[in-house]
Amino acid sequence: MKNNRQRIVIALGGNAIKLPRQQGTHEEQRAGIRSASLCILEFIKNGFDVVITHGNGPQVGSLLMQQEAVASQLPPQPMDICNAMTQGQLGYMLQQALMNELKALNLNFNVVTMIAQVLVDRNDPAFANPAKPVGPFYDAAAKERLAAERGYLMSRVLPQGERPFRRLVPSPDPIRILEVKALKKVVDAGMIVIAAGGGGVPVILSEQGEFEGIEGVIDKDLSGEKLAEAVASDFFMILTDVPNVKIGFGSPEERPLGRLDVREARRYLQEGQFLAGSMAPKVLACIRFIEYGGDEAIITSPDKAWAALERNEGTHIVPGRGEP
């Protein structure tokens, strides 16, 4: 049974842990994670049940590059294994950072990381049209070799340069988190949970009725919304590199959005106001959370997180009039 504390799912962007200008050293990532932990700590100190998910794009990209560098000596692992590995890596770092911050404040909370599998439809249209670039950049010779040897779908993603090609993988829509019952029990018990990092490990139900990992990735924010559903969260917060969602982006009519209802958000999304692969899935995740029955969804930057919950910052998506 859920306690009477309010509950929030916080989705951290992968670049909150490794900034684009950084090399991705252990020390840099530890510093980024500590900063994120201090942000999350505000919610814990103020009495919230907190569930955390995170991106892993920079980390899984580095892992794929490391694998490619030693491919002649060790067999590369598939994408689902790489996703699970980086879930564990970042979960451990976040878990340890939070434990240290809580200990410094004499707050007694258990922090746990759960590796999550996320079910997708094996007939999802994304499998017929892989569009998510992952891993290292390749030259033309490597592109041809990997397409022939491993069956990789390769595409030019840079207009010029010696290495303009990357591998494309499917990004199917999440259906549900398989570990939903365990997640709910752990959160209801008052523990701080880190789960479904990098969108979770995408799995399908095979024709034989078995779960199988697939070569693909799930959008972290869409998966985070499924996590919010799974734990019956009151709030869903996406932390990204900007304090507000904007419409008219890059035009003279550009303006930040403050508070809007789910119907307005849906209309802006359908008008194409948000960039695909960037802000569009974040807004869609927030819309889905409200339509599922959540109280409020918020998009903002980490430094504005607590102020956004107090409704002084950020973009807030809420139910429309006459809706729950």
Q: What is the per-residue burial (b if ≥16 Cβ within 10 Å, else e) of 229-264?
A: bbbebbbbbbbbeebbbbbeeeeeeeeebeebbbee
Contact (CB, 8 A) for 187 and 49: yes
Give the helix/strand (H/E) hosting 167. Answer: strand 165-169
Catalytic residue among 15, 184, 244, 320, which? 15
Which one of the listed residues 13, 282, 294, 304 is annotated catalytic?
282
Amino acid at 280: A
DSSP state of 304: G
Identify the active-site residue in 18, 132, 226, 304.
132
Catalytic residue at 108? no
Q: Give me the catalytic one of 13, 14, 199, 294.
A: 14
Q: Is 132 a catalytic residue?
A: yes
| 197 among known catalytic residues | no
d(C-alpha 60, C-alpha 85), whole Å:
8
Please state, in angstroms and rounded to a whole number, the distance separating the CA atoms of residues 34 and 104: 13
- Three state DSSP letters for 59-105: HHHHHHHHHHHCCCCCCCCCHHHHHHHHHHHHHHHHHHHHHHHHHHC
Closest CA relative to residue 37, chosen from 81, 87, 99: 99
* Catalytic entry in 18, 220, 226, 304: 220
Is 220 annotated in the active site?
A: yes
Check if 282 is active-site: yes
Give the catalytic positions in this structure: 14-15, 132, 220, 282
